A = this chain, B = another copy of it.
Amino acid sequence: MEYKNMSHEQLAAEYDAVSKKFASLKEKNLKLDMSRGKPGKEQLDLVSDMLTVLSKPEDCVADGLDVRNYGELTGLPCAKKLFAEILGCRPEECFIGGNASLTLMYDTIAKAYTHGLLHSEKPWSKLDTVKFLCPSPGYDRHFKVTQSFGAELITIPMTAEGPDMDAVEEAVKDPAVKGIWCVPKYSNPDGIIYSQATIERIAHLHPAAPDFIVMWDNAYCIHEFEGEYVPFPDMLSICREAGNPDMVFEYASTSKVTFPGAGVSVMAASTDNLKYMTNLIGMQSISADKVNQLRHVRYLKDKAHTLELMKRHAQILGPKFRAVLDALEREIAPLGIASWKRPKGGYFVSLDTADGLAKRTLALCKEAGVVMTNAGATYPYGADPRDRNIRIAPSLPPVAELEAAIEVFCVCLRLAALEQLLNK
């Protein structure tokens, strides 16, 4: 029975039962972590052959270059070819970075502040106000990049098709609005795939700011954990066709394909944008690690071969997501105290409690030894206005631990809901 249909006596009885359950879980002294989208050890072991794919000096030559030495600022041609095939863009639109696309994103925003972007009238540091659109719930690290430079973060609601485009189109009329953060496929944390209509509307924006930037973080471009690979359009060509060729910077990496701490990242943008950025990046880098780029090219080979590897990741991740989602269906759905989606890719389950329960639920989890992403983290400034969104990251713990953790979570959510209903 849904809690809202229960009598006070029924709720009080339920509260007693759930409290006892909570107390017994606490006694287990658990120490479980569902806080971040970290791959588990089994996934890391999957790609062990990459460690030795380059083992002799003669293995280190590619595209006529000795990849061990200095040079090739924009990356190895064969690495550009691989990423271009995966993203659907052109090799000459790719800049290959180090082990983190976050660093490439930060650098883009940093350069907007210190030097301006290709179409900037002046560096953003010279402006009184810079505003940035943050579809929420979204990725805390994105928001913090722009926040760290002093940008004002504007919350844009998420819909089932991506950011609320009416709100975006209205917001970009303000010339102080300089950009938007997007995770277009399996959005973090909702797992939403932006609809074709949303994508087209983004590409056709007419922002007042000439240097408005779409930060297109395609972090989960090939990261299905259930079902077949879902093709996704190339945002660079869509923006080009919409007459906004320089409005988008796309990012991706192999952090959740090979090794999270030792992967390869890519920034894709119009050749004019890349030429402009490469001139600036030439001051700070001679090139990213090309030995690691070549390791990845030799190991991943091409898109088809990479998708086969992603199927093996899915075999590990699928059961973990199902463990979480099945527990929620079984334990929470009948009570009517939260809602969530059933994503088929990405790294998260996003759950909305009844208003005002997120913080309390996670405080209870912590008390019982289960660490989750902080409540509010998915909103600008870490403040969820309705205190309801919780990001669940099932990838790291083994299934048995995960089942224990999600059991704790369900009990804590029920307890928080009951406390609220009983005004405890």
Identify the A interface with B (CB < 8 A).
36, 38-39, 41, 44-45, 48, 51-52, 54-57, 59-60, 66-71, 98-100, 102-103, 106-107, 110, 113-115, 123, 125-126, 141, 144-145, 148-149, 255, 259-262, 280, 283-292
Contact = CB atoms under 8 A, between A and B. Distances in A.
26 contacts: A36-B70, A41-B66, A44-B57, A44-B60, A45-B57, A48-B57, A51-B291, A52-B55, A68-B261, A70-B260, A70-B261, A71-B261, A98-B289, A100-B286, A102-B284, A106-B284, A107-B284, A110-B110, A123-B125, A125-B125, A125-B126, A261-B289, A261-B291, A262-B291, A262-B292, A289-B292
Q: How many copies does the complex hold?
A: 2
A57 B114 CA distance: 42
Given A44-B66, A261-B68, A145 B57 contact: no
A56 B60 CA distance: 20
Q: Which of A36, A38, A141, A291 has the most CB of B within 10 A?
A: A291
A59 B50 CA distance: 13
Contacts of A98: 98-99, 288-289
Given A44-B60, A69-B260, A113-B114, 9 more contacts: A44-B66, A51-B56, A68-B259, A98-B288, A99-B289, A100-B286, A106-B283, A261-B289, A261-B291
A284 B103 contact: yes
Contacts of A126: 125
A175 to B, nearest CB: 21
A45 B57 CA distance: 6
Which 4 pairs, one residue from A and one from B, show the smallest C-beta to C-beta distance? A106-B284, A262-B291, A68-B259, A125-B125
B144 A283 contact: yes
B288 A38 contact: no
Nearest to A45: B57
A44 B69 contact: yes
A196 B221 CA distance: 56
Contacts of A41: 57, 66
A260 B126 CA distance: 37
A51 B54 contact: yes
A68 B262 contact: yes
A49 to B, nearest CB: 10
A261 B44 contact: no
A215 to B, nearest CB: 14
A67 B261 contact: yes
A376 to B, nearest CB: 18
Contacts of A125: 113-114, 123, 125-126
Contacts of A149: 114
A292 B261 CA distance: 10
A346 to B, nearest CB: 16
B114 A261 contact: no
A98 B70 CA distance: 14
